[in-house]
Amino acid sequence: MPVIRHAESRRTETPNAIMTTLASPTQGGAGQLVWRVDMGPGQAGPLHGIDTEQVWTVLTGAATVELDNQPYAVEPGDTAVIPADVPRRITAAPDGFAAVVVAPVGMRAYRLDGGVVARECAVPDGDKLVPAWVV
């Protein structure tokens, strides 16, 4: 059983959050992706899509999960099951937000608002990107 020590966790910082990779194909040889998201007060991710389902469980703080223009408030202990290819945006509450996310290996992201994806945080894969924290 591979054990990924906390000190070996990989951190990726974007303009919107810090992602800490807990398990991935290159970190523990995992067949599922697991990472922690920490967002500061009021931070918001871009409007984007993911080509696989994701499951987000809130650890601390609160956020609004916008799915296909419908807002859902989440708080500690809540779990949001986000379907594939649904426009989404996560916005942290004024006190910030932390969650653990699980997704299948091979997930890819794509922008929907015309914005530019930070290339240092992702690997191009056709017209989609593989976020650095899921490799």
What pLDDT score does 128 carry?
A: 84
* Integer CA distances (angstroms), 132 to 26, 83, 101, in order: 11, 21, 14
- Domain of residue 103, CATH code: 2.60.120.10
Number of domains comprising the chain: 1
Residue 116 confidence (pLDDT): 52
**Per-residue pLDDT, 95:** 96
Q: Which residues, 6+ apart, have CB-to-CB distance to 42 below 8 Å? A: 91, 92, 93, 94
How distant, in Å, are the alpha carbons of 18, 54, 107, 116, 133 from that of 81?
A: 21, 6, 15, 26, 19
- Domain containing 66: what range? 6-134
In a domain, 83, yes or no: yes
**Gyration radius of the chain's alpha carbons:** 14
Please report the pLDDT score of residue 2 as a whole number.
83
Whole-number Å distance between alpha carbons of 80 and 5: 27
Instruction: Tell whether 1 is covered by a domain.
Output: no
- The structure's pTM equals 0.90
Mean pLDDT by 10 residues, the chain (135 residues): 86 94 93 97 92 98 97 98 96 97 94 60 71 90
Q: What is the pLDDT of residue 121?
A: 64
In a domain? residue 119: yes
pLDDT of residue 40: 97
pLDDT computed for residue 129 by the predictor: 86
Domain-embedded: residue 107: yes
Instruction: Evaluate whether residue 38 is within a structural domain.
Output: yes
Torsion sign (Cα): 84, 74, 8, 128: positive
**Strand ranges inside 40-87, DSSP E:** 48-50, 54-67, 70-74, 79-82
pLDDT at residue number 112:
76
